[in-house]
Structures are given as C-alpha cells and as structure tokens.
Amino acid sequence: MTHFTMYQILEKKKHGLELSPEEIEWTIKGLLNKSVAEYQMTALLMAIYLNGMTKKETAALTDVMLNSGRTLNFNDQSVVDKHSTGGIGDKTSFILAPIAAACGVKVPMIAGRGLGFTGGTVDKVEAIPGFRTDLSLNEFETKLKEDSLVLMGQTPEIAPADRIIYALRDVTATIDSIPLITASIMSKKLAEGANGIVMDIKVGSGAFMSSKSEAKKLAKSILYTAKAYDKRCVTLLTNMNQPLGRAVGHTLELIECFEVLKDNGPQDLTVLSLELAAHMIRIAGKAKSQTQALKMAKHAVKSGAALKVFEKLIADQGGDAGVIYNYDLMDLAPVKSEVLCPKDGYVKSFVNKEIGFLCTELGGGRKVKTDKIDFGVGFYFHKKLGDKVKKGESLLTIYHRQDQLDDVTAISETLLESVIKIGRTKPAKPEVIYDLFEN
C-alpha cells in the first residue's frame, strides 16, 4: 500500500479536502496496528467533526471499519435488526425483538452498553439475574440459525476499529457527527449479517441529534450506505424530547417492557415499538404491507406469543425467566421518594439529557468505564409532556437506596429547577414519530 503520513492526512482534512479511500484505509489500519497514535486519530476525528466527510469518504470509512473484524452472512432475507441512536428510557429493543421474532423475523441483536447520557440494551438486560450477554460469535451464529432471536454484547471480533474510535469520540466531544455515526452504526450492523435494518433516529433534548434537519441528514446518510451494500433500510425520526415510556433505570425499564408485552404498557412506548417491529416484519418479507405487519405485531402481543419468545430467550441465555411473572426476582431499590409539583399548570418541556445524567448520578449509569451499575435505581414519571398537573402532586418517583437521601434531595431540586418545566397553557400533544425515509 502507498505510504502516507498522518501529518499530511491531518493537513488535508484540516483544510476540508477530501481524503482518498486509500488514505482512510491506511489510517484505520494504522490505528489498529498502533502505527497511528490515538492522539493523531482524535485530531482527525475533530477535523472530520468540523469539516464533515463526502459520501465517498463516509463509504470508504464504513467499509474499512466493517472489514476490520469478522463479518457474518446469513444469506437470508428474514434476518433483520433494529438500531437506535440512543435516548432516555429507550427500551424498544426488548419489545420489538420478541414481537418481530414471533412473526417469523430472525433478529441478530448485537447491542451496546450505555454511552454518555444514554442507557444501553446490554446493561439493561443484565438486570435479569443470570442473563448472559457474553456469547462468542460462533455461539451467536449457531443460535440464530436454530432460533429466531439472539441478544449479545459487542465482541472484539465485530468492527474492532469502531470500538477504538467510539471510545475516543466518547471523550473528545465528537459523537454527534453524521459521517462518524453512519460509519459506526453501519459497520456493526453490516458485520452482524443483517439483511435489513430499521433505524430509530432519535431527535430532541435527549438525543445526539437535536434538530429534525440534522436527523434527516443522518437518515439520508444511513440510507445511502445501506443501499451501497444492497440492504433494505427504513429510518424513522422519533421524538426524544421526553423519556420514552415512564421508566428510566434498568430494572424499572425491564418491568415496563414486560408490561408492554402483556398489553399494559404506556402509549408512546407501545406505539413506537409496534411500528418499529412492523417495519422489521415487512422488510423481512413476512407481510405485504405495513398495515398487515402492524396487525401481526399487535396480534403477537395480544396472543402472548411475543412474551413467550422473550421468556425463551431469557431461559436460553441463562437468565431466570421467572422475572416476567415475578418482578421481585429483580433488584429494585427499596426506597421511593416523590418529586412534587411546585405549581398548577401543564408539563411544558423536559431537558431530557439531564435526566440521563441524573440517573447516572444515582448509580444507574457509568461515570468511568469500570463503574458498576446499580440496576435497581431510577425514575418513574407519572406526568409526561402536556399532562395537567396540580401543586403538590407527584411528578415522578425516585427509586433509590437508604443511604442516598442527601443525593436524592439534590437530584429533586435539579429536576424541579432546571429539568422539568411547568407552563400555564396546554402544549400540543407530542408526536411519537415525526418522519420516515426508506430505500
């Protein structure tokens, strides 16, 4: 391969010039074999963040990241996965995956851990005692051939370049870059062998994309990449201006998912999960139209078929499936403190990101990589956007440990002072899904 220097590559990107596929490949390979230093890579990430990347550059970056590890190929149209850009209380995977699987879709879910203010699917499922997420890639491949749903954590074998780059982005304020998000997500999804991808692009105060126009650009970028690899892809732009559902925190969120699968969940979470599952069912070729797919998805919930799939998944992966019927088998923090509404009015807005940071403060997230998560702590929101509220009514319950009373007082104050805004007039009912683009 032609020899480049990192200095020249940085100079080029600093001035907003297009890098060639060879230069991108040389850089990523160098990062993996340590001939490119992490400090040089972070400088490049910031230059990319500031100057962007062309479609050609994004495609080249995706390709080299995808091929930095093993790639699976199931050669099966019914293998479809979903990915979310992350948000607060975002737990749809536990609902849509069993629904889609109950309707004949094969779901190869390689999920992530919490990042920044967002929670992670892998951390959440570990709140089920015994559940194993550390499957080997061979185990994962065999299981998916035999079964319809497998859930595991990221392995070093899949897109290892993303692992390094992701960790660098996390600490250098370079997460919310459209080409970097595209390459990160698509390299992993393409490597796990999905033939169809449903993307939930979160927009709002609890998302990496805060405006609809930026989210639309990300959707277009992801669709373009999916098309280049001949994969079907649906992107939904969805509302992340308030927690999705009512629960934030690992055990609380799982309980809420079980309730949705028992047909007893909150409206926004139920609507979004069914819609995402229906897109998976449709692009997997299991339904002719979205209407038919939605009907199938609803039936999978009403008949209890989706819950059975989840029960089998938990048991197959070493977990205690009894949790579905007895929530006491999971660790839930024993002390409950109410956050009371300071005045009459309507819930006007949430500074949603802050809720994620406050949950971390309580122990429900990591400040450093080695932190152990407390699955039992969290928030349960009784009031959501547009709800009428009265002075003295509970806005939310904080689940915590006995020795956290002082922290909880400070958290409640922050929630009331700078996170939950109460207005005099009733705001418009928030939409759950803003837009949809498909290739």
Identity of the residue, 45 or 408, whose beta carbon is nearer to ligand URA in the bound complex: 45
50/194 Cα distance (integer angstroms): 31
85 binds ligand URA (CB under 6 A): yes
Considering 81, 90, 162, 200, which one is annotated as catalytic? 162
121 binds ligand URA (CB under 6 A): no
Identity of the residue, 185 or 377, whose beta carbon is nearer to ligand URA in the bound complex: 185
Residues 6 or more apart from 402 whose CB is under 8 A from it?
334, 335
Identity of the residue, 178 or 420, whose beta carbon is nearer to ligand URA in the bound complex: 178
Q: What is the DSSP letter of 154?
A: -
184 binds ligand URA (CB under 6 A): yes
Binding mask 202-231 for ligand URA (x = CB under 6 A): ------------------------------
Token pair listed for 202 = 């979160």
Residue 113 is a catalytic residue: no
161/183 Cα distance (integer angstroms): 10
Q: Decide the pairing of beta strands 232-239 and 196-203.
A: parallel
Considering 12, 83, 286, 383, which one is annotated as catalytic? 83
Alpha helices in 229-266 (DSSP H): 250-261
What are the angstrom distances between the C-alpha of 433 and each of 12, 84, 255, 274?
40, 13, 24, 12
Token pair listed for 90 = 């975002």
Amino acid at 406: D
Residue 169 is a catalytic residue: yes
Token pair listed for 393 = 């009514």
Identity of the residue, 184 or 352, whose beta carbon is nearer to ligand URA in the bound complex: 184
287 binds ligand URA (CB under 6 A): no
Identity of the residue, 90 or 354, whose beta carbon is nearer to ligand URA in the bound complex: 90
Contact 96, 309 (CB under 8 A): no
CB of 366 to ligand URA, least distance (A): 16
Binding mask 137-176 for ligand URA (x = CB under 6 A): ----------------------------------------
User: What is the Rg, in whole angstroms, of the alpha carbon atoms belonging to the chain?
Assistant: 22
Contact 267, 259 (CB under 8 A): no
DSSP per-residue string spanning 267-299: HHHHHHHHHHHHHHHHHTTS-SSHHHHHHHHHH
Contact 329, 323 (CB under 8 A): yes
58 binds ligand URA (CB under 6 A): no
Considering 68, 78, 93, 184, which one is annotated as catalytic? 184
90/104 Cα distance (integer angstroms): 24
120 binds ligand URA (CB under 6 A): no
241: Cα separation from own chain's centroid: 15
Residue with the closest Cβ to ligand URA? Answer: 184
Residue 232 is a catalytic residue: no
Identity of the residue, 85 or 148, whose beta carbon is nearer to ligand URA in the bound complex: 85
Contact 85, 209 (CB under 8 A): yes
> Which region among 61-69, 93-101, 179-187, 293-301 touches ligand URA (by CB under 6 A)?
179-187
185 binds ligand URA (CB under 6 A): yes
Position among 122, 158, 164, 181 found at the interface with ligand URA (CB under 6 A): 181
Contact 133, 122 (CB under 8 A): yes
187 binds ligand URA (CB under 6 A): no
Asked whether the CA dihedral 282, 286, 288, 292 is positive or negative, the reply is negative
The residue count for binding ligand URA (CB under 6 A) is 7
CB of 343 to ligand URA, least distance (A): 37
86 binds ligand URA (CB under 6 A): yes
284/100 Cα distance (integer angstroms): 9
93 binds ligand URA (CB under 6 A): no
Identity of the residue, 86 or 363, whose beta carbon is nearer to ligand URA in the bound complex: 86
CB of 119 to ligand URA, least distance (A): 12
Residue 83 is a catalytic residue: yes
Residue 184 is a catalytic residue: yes
Which positions are catalytic? Answer: 83, 162, 169, 184, 188
Task: Catalog residues that contact ligand URA under the rule CB under 6 A.
Answer: 85-86, 112, 180-181, 184-185
